[in-house]
Every structure is written in C-alpha cells, then in structure tokens.
C-alpha cells in the first residue's frame, strides 16, 4: 500500500492559493482572525465570510493533472491510502474514491453543539441552524488548536504502508508534518514531490521537485511502469 499525503501545493495550479508561499493565504489574512475557535467566537461574521469566499472560489475551479494522476493510480488497482490536508474537493472531483480530509472539508458545516456534519455547498451564516438540535453551525474545517480527523486510521495506515509519499506540503503543520518521520522509523521508503524541498527534506529518501502537474504524473507513470504493486 502507498500512503499519499497531499497539501495545498497540489491544488495550486487549479487556482487555489497555498498558505505559506509569498502570495499565500496566511500572508494576506491572519490565522488568529479566521482560523481559530477564538476568532469565530469574537467575530463569526468575518470567519463565515472568509470561508464563504473560499467555498465560492472552489466551485469555480477544476482539478488538475496531478489530482487526475492520483485517481488513475487508484484505478490501476494499486492500493493507496489518500490523506489530504486540503479542504477542497478536487481529489474527489478527479475520481479518487476514498479521500480522508484530516483538516475537514470546505463544503461541509458542523454543529457547534451536537457535532452533526452536513453537506454545505452554499454560503453559511449565523442564521443557519443545525436541523437536529438548532445549534450554531460553523465551517467543518479543523482550526489551529483543534484535533485533526482520522488520526486512528492514519496511524494504522502509516504502520502498514510500503511507501510514503508527500505531495505539495511545506511540512509545517503537525501532526501531518510528523508522518514522514513515523513512516521512516518503520523502514518505509519515503518520497517527496513538491515545488521545492520542504522543511522535512532530510526525512525523505527521494525528492522530485517542480510543479505538481508535472512531477506527480511522472511519478505515477514510474509506479505504473514498475508493474508489481506495493
Ligand atoms: N506544485 C507543487 N508544490 C507547490 C506548488 C506547485 N505548483 N506551489 C507551491 N507548492 C508547495 C510550496 O513550495 C509549499 O512547500 O506547496 C507547499 C505548500 O505549503 P503550505 O502553504 O504550508 O500548505 P500546506 O503544507 O498544505 O499547509 C498545511 O496549514 O494552515 C494550514 O490547515 C492548513 O492544511 C493546511 C496546513
């Protein structure tokens, strides 16, 4: 099984900003203003609007060749475990069938009171209430200081995979950034595909650098050419 971890870099060429590059989101908006529970309590309108804009933007863009290459890899019969830090749905829209969104999903809302998660493709605001308990709805994304989703499943997969591949992530945000170290400690082969070497470069056995739409299809081709499945 190949464990694949993706980050904002894979969606960059679809038109979504990354977070920490010069033109990245966190250089335009302060994390403390839009991506913490304290920000939501202090100024829910600002937080709703930030995510409403991102939701609208997502609905106007398309998956790219890197997303499609990973979907092809799955279709080939190669067993993969796809975990993304991205809240977009571009993997699903390119045909990947099982995608674990460890930082949540932009097109979902969650109830603050009962935790119910709802598909939410449109704008979200303070007047929208939970259909179950009437509680306040928030974007179903994992904010700073909150626990990511699927950590148990991720833990199991890290211990089973034969190859660990990181695509388009700066390796800054934990626990995602620590997964490569865990995989390496198990003796798993580790590969990085990114625009440039990440902070974790020394933990990767191999690195291929360039835009995701170029390096990901080439890497997928090389896996398919090997024939024998990991
Ligand atoms: N192709 C491949 N990689 C790219 C491209 C591209 N076209 N453009 C940028 N990159 C790389 C950058 O060099 C960088 O290493 O993608 C990485 C993006 O890093 P970040 O902006 O830090 O995004 P990410 O690692 O996904 O962030 C992790 O932080 O706040 C958050 O919750 C958010 O899930 C996100 C988490």
Q: What is the DSSP letter of 140?
A: E
What CATH class has 1-14+63-103+148-230? alpha beta
Largest CA distance in the chain: 54
Catalytic residue set? 103
How far away, in angstroms, is 200 Cα from ligand 1 center? 13
**Residues in the chain with pLDDT values less than 70:** none
Per-residue confidence (pLDDT) for residue 186, from 0 to 100: 97
Q: Give yes or no for residue 212 CB within 6 A of ligand 1.
A: yes
CB 80 within 8 A of CB 95: no
Per-residue confidence (pLDDT) for residue 228, from 0 to 100: 78
How far away, in angstroms, is 187 Cα from ligand 1 center? 26
Q: What is the pLDDT of residues 134-182, one digit of tens each?
A: 999 999 999 999 999 999 999 999 999 999 999 999 999 999 999 999 9
Per-residue confidence (pLDDT) for residue 164, from 0 to 100: 98
Per-residue confidence (pLDDT) for residue 229, from 0 to 100: 82
Q: Give yes or no for residue 14 CB within 6 A of ligand 1.
A: no
Per-residue confidence (pLDDT) for residue 227, from 0 to 100: 82
CATH number for the region 17-60+106-141 comes to 3.30.1600.10
Domain boundaries, the chain: 1-14+63-103+148-230, 17-60+106-141
CA distance 204 to 172: 15
Distance of CA 2 to CAs 38, 81, 115, 161, 230, Å? 37, 6, 32, 6, 7
CA distance 56 to 54: 5
Percentage of the chain beyond pLDDT 70 is: 100
* Non-local CB neighbours of 216 within 8 Å, separated by 6+ positions: 10, 65, 66, 69, 70, 167, 193
Per-residue confidence (pLDDT) for residue 79, from 0 to 100: 97
The pTM of this model reads 0.97
Return the residue whose CA atom lies nearest to atom 17 of ligand 1. 169
Q: Which is the closest atom of ligand 1 to the Cα of 7?
A: 26
Q: Give yes or no for residue 121 CB within 6 A of ligand 1.
A: no
CB 66 within 8 A of CB 10: yes
Strands (E), the chain: 2-6, 80-84, 99-101, 104-111, 117-119, 137-141, 163-167, 189-194, 206-209
Average pLDDT over the chain reads 97
Q: What are phi and psi of 203, to 5 degrees?
A: -90, -5
């Amino acid at each position: 099984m190949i464990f694949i971890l993706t980050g904002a870099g894979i969606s960059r060429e679809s038109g979504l900003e990354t977070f920490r590059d010069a033109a990245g989101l966190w250089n335009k908006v302060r994390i403390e203003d839009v991506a913490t529970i304290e920000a939501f309590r202090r100024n829910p309108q600002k937080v709703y609007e930030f995510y409403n804009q991102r939701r609208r933007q997502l609905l106007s863009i398309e998956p790219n060749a890197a997303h499609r290459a990973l979907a092809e890899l799955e279709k080939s019969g190669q067993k993969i475990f796809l975990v993304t830090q991205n809240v977009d749905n571009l993997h699903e829209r390119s045909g990947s069938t099982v995608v674990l969104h460890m930082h949540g999903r932009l097109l979902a809302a969650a109830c603050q009171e009962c935790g119910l998660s709802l598909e939410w493709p449109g704008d979200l605001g303070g007047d929208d209430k939970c259909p179950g308990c009437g509680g306040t709805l928030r974007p179903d994304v994992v904010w700073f200081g909150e626990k990511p989703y699927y950590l148990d499943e991720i833990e199991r997969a890290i211990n089973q995979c034969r190859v660990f591949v990181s695509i388009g992530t700066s390796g800054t945000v934990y626990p995602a950034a620590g997964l490569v170290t865990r995989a390496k400690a198990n003796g798993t082969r580790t590969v990085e595909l990114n625009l440039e070497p990440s902070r974790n470069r020394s933990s990767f056995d191999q690195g291929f650098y360039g835009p995701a739409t170029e390096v990901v299809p080439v890497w997928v081709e090389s896996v398919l050419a090997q024939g024998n499945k990991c």
